[in-house]
Amino acid sequence: MLLEGVKNVFLYVNLLGATVLMREAFEELMNSANEDWVFPEHPRIETLLLPLKMSWAQQNLDFKRAVMSEPDDSFVAPLAQVIRWYETILHNIYLLFIDEQDPEAEYEFSKYISSNDTVIYKDAMEDDQAAVSRFTDRYEEIMGYSILWVLAVSGTLLFCMAILNVMQRRPRNRFAWAYAFNRAIIGSILIFIGGVVNKLKLPVNSLYWLYWL
């Protein structure tokens, strides 16, 4: 179980890294558009999209067609189309690192993608992006709780090692007793932290936990 938790922590780190790289590339792409919303070629984002079997060149063509059919200059529909495309990328990145799809997250994603252009556009302009976070937070929560496995199982392992040390070696001086006592204390602390975070439902889908580990 400890090894499984460690594996999932590494997967979670890679997931966060992939989403950060994609977000930076997407922001760079959007900032490269001119006042008429014409985008230049972007080799970086094309490279990042290769594992997902997606392409910005094709999406750019679809965007141009949406701009040409836009009845006014609000660009709500074309921009909503690009936002849907980007959120689909994030969704596909999550699925690369997760063994099984989560029904709740998939339902929220399907509901978000099928929303009308105004809803998509307004949600993207808001700071909290509530509609998007309903499926992204769910997947990050699933992988983030792997961190709790590492904490709790590591603490249990240290605590058991302290017990075995006392039972098998029978410490004969204060240093040996201190060695076993320190293992038991640290193990208990890790178990306590893992249990409290799980009980209180504290957020674990952040880099702060990974840095702490």
Residue-wise pLDDT tens digits, 127-164: 667 778 888 888 877 776 666 667 777 788 888 888 88
> In 10 A of CB 97, how many CB atoms?
18
pLDDT at 211: 47
CB atoms within 10 A of CB 161: 14
Q: Two tokens at 205?
A: 């889908």
- The one-letter amino acid at 56: W
Q: Give the number of other CB atoms < 10 A from CB of residue 127.
A: 5
Average pLDDT over residues 1-25: 78
Q: What's the rounded mean pLDDT across residues 27-32?
A: 87
Cβ neighbors of 37 (< 8 A, separation 6 or more) are 63, 67, 75, 78
Is residue 144 within 8 A of residue 209, CB to CB? The reply is: yes
For residue 198, the Cα-to-chain-centroid distance in whole angstroms is 18
30-34, 102-106, 189-193: least confident range: 189-193
- Those residues whose C-beta lies under 8 Å from the C-beta of residue 20, and which sit 6 or more positions away, are none
Q: Which residues contact 58 (CB under 8 A, 6 or more apart)?
A: none
Q: What's the confidence (pLDDT) of residue 92?
A: 92
Is residue 195 within 8 A of residue 155, CB to CB? The reply is: no
Chain CA centroid to CA 98, Å:
10
Higher pLDDT residue, 166 or 88? 88
Cα–Cα nearest to 87, from 136, 122, 45: 136
Residue pointed to by tokens 């594992």: 51
| H/E run at residue 72 | none
Q: What does the pLDDT read at residue 89?
A: 93
**Closest listed residue to residue 48, CA positions, set 28, 31, 33:** 28
- Asked if 33 and 78 touch (Cβ cutoff 8 Å), the reply is no
